[in-house]
Amino acid sequence: MDFIANLPPHFFRIPIALTLILTLVFVNALIMVYLERKIAGHMQYRLGPMEVGWHGVLQTAIDAVKLMSKQLIVPDAAHRKLFRIAPLLAFTPAVLPFVVMPFAPKLQGIDLNIGLIFILAMASLNVMAIFVAGWASNNKYGLLGAMRSVSQNIAYEIPILLSLLSVVFVVNSFSLGDIVGFQGKIWFIVLQPLAFLIYFVSSVAETNRAPFDLPEAESELTAGFHTEYSGMAFALFFLGEYTEMFIVSSLATAVFLGGWHGFPLPFFEYSAIVWFLVKTYILMFFMIWFRWTFPRVRFDQLLNFSWKYLIPFSLVNLLITAVVVKL
């Protein structure tokens, strides 16, 4: 027993955290797919899924079973190894950022002092997966989707970094625990409204969702980079996309919306995690709302919007922040 007692605490902490994170990722995907279809339905005067279970609540579970039982077909001309690696490459970096996410004061896998950088680094690996998937499937739609994805993500990662940097200037720390702790009195959405807007718009683009869903534009590229994928490989991309949504929303919650701060709920001890999840899901509702309202932008509009509007505005915002902090 001495041996176990002498192990460093992270030896137990990280596996437990990863188990909980994987549970969260799958449950979140189940909930989000259902919510997305339901909200989309109601926004178009439809009802959404209604048949399986009460108001279709079991529909996503059934779909998951169907996807798992399907065969992964590898095209003859595809690069066999990369074709199989790409879905894993899309899914793994989507899960890792949760390790540093501060869900509640004591509910955080590990509070890295470079937490924010870790999340951004992992989030940008997703582009790699999309590019590998598009290239390896040896399909013109896949390659076009992958190409679009790369240029889009390069264009939109800069405003994300710049807008988060203006918050880091104020807090003087990259640790997410510190950033959330700083917002006890006033949230950063009040101090940095422009940075929040820029971050949120760019993060919608970063997750490849409508109106910036050019990499998978159904009506132009059939399905973009995942045209050739079927079964569980496709499901992993799908899972990655919804997890990415959760990550950018929870990062926005932690950095701009005060994280787990909120007045204590009555009769409930763990109000911190409830506040965190409520804020995150409200942001995700906004992302779904955007998707079912706005038409897809053209490619030149997409790049113009980033280089002509988001980046200059975030630079100006950063400059003002730096001046104010120095004073």
Partner 1 sequence: MKNYFVDLFSGIKSLLIGMGVTFTAFFSKGATVQYPRETNYIAPAYRGHIILLRDENTGGHKCIACGMCQRACPSGCITVSTVKKEGEKKKTLTGFDLDFTKCSLCAICVETCPSGAIDFSNEYNLAGFTKEEFHYDLLNYPKESSC
Residues lying near partner 1 in the complex (CB under 8 A): 39, 41-47, 50, 289-290, 292-294, 308-309
Residue with tokens 């002509």: 308
2, 183, 270, 271, 274 from 266: Cα distances, Å? 42, 22, 10, 9, 12
Measured from the CB atom, the residue of 172 and 293 that comes closer to partner 1 is 293
* Helical segments of 271-327, H only: 271-291, 299-304, 311-326
Query: Got the DSSP string for 178-190?
Result: HHHHHTTSS-HHH
Measured from the CB atom, the residue of 2 and 51 that comes closer to partner 1 is 51
Measured from the CB atom, the residue of 50 and 65 that comes closer to partner 1 is 50
The torsion region of residue 224 among left (phi > 0), alpha (psi -120 to 50) and beta comes to left
Rounded to the nearest whole angstrom, what is the least distance from the CB of residue 32 to partner 1 in the complex?
A: 17
Measured from the CB atom, the residue of 39 and 72 that comes closer to partner 1 is 39
Rounded to the nearest whole angstrom, what is the least distance from the CB of residue 42 to partner 1 in the complex?
A: 5
Rounded to the nearest whole angstrom, what is the least distance from the CB of residue 43 to partner 1 in the complex?
A: 4
Radius of gyration, CA atoms only, the chain = 20
Q: Give CA–CA dist 258/180, Å, rounded.
A: 6
Q: Give CA–CA dist 134/123, Å, rounded.
A: 18
Rounded to the nearest whole angstrom, what is the least distance from the CB of residue 41 to partner 1 in the complex?
A: 7
Measured from the CB atom, the residue of 195 and 239 that comes closer to partner 1 is 195
Supply 23's token pair: 């549970």
Q: Give CA–CA dist 319/195, Å, rounded.
A: 12
Rounded to the nearest whole angstrom, what is the least distance from the CB of residue 31 to partner 1 in the complex?
A: 18
Rounded to the nearest whole angstrom, what is the least distance from the CB of residue 249 to partner 1 in the complex?
A: 17
Measured from the CB atom, the residue of 292 and 299 that comes closer to partner 1 is 292
